[in-house]
Amino acid sequence: MLPQCTTCWLPYSGGLKVGTKKLFVRTADSNLQEIQPQCVLDFYVHESCQRQGIGKQLFQVGL
């Protein structure tokens, strides 16, 4: 279930932007390997809904 803000009238209180990102990791034998993991690119919580745990709930739903 999506998190709900208790102090504002907005239909939604925030959002997560998720996508792939090119990253380079070092392998056990010291070589570089390119991977494209799923990442949280950005997130937003409306000002009137901050400090209520909405961001944490967004991350938990997103995982």
Task: Specify if 24 maps to a domain.
Answer: yes
Task: Specify if 9 maps to a domain.
Answer: no
Kindly report the CATH number assigned to the domain that includes residue 28.
Answer: 3.40.630.30
Tens of pLDDT, residue by residue, the chain (63 residues): 556 666 665 666 788 889 999 999 999 999 999 999 999 899 888 888 888 888 888 888 877
Task: Specify if 3 maps to a domain.
Answer: no
Task: Specify if 4 maps to a domain.
Answer: no
pLDDT at res. 34: 97
Task: Specify if 46 maps to a domain.
Answer: yes
Domain containing 47 equals: 14-62
Domain total in the chain: 1
What is the SS3 string spanning the chain?
A: CCCCCCCCCCCCCEEEEEEECCEEEECCCCCEEEECCEEEEEEEECHHHCCCCHHHHHHHHHC
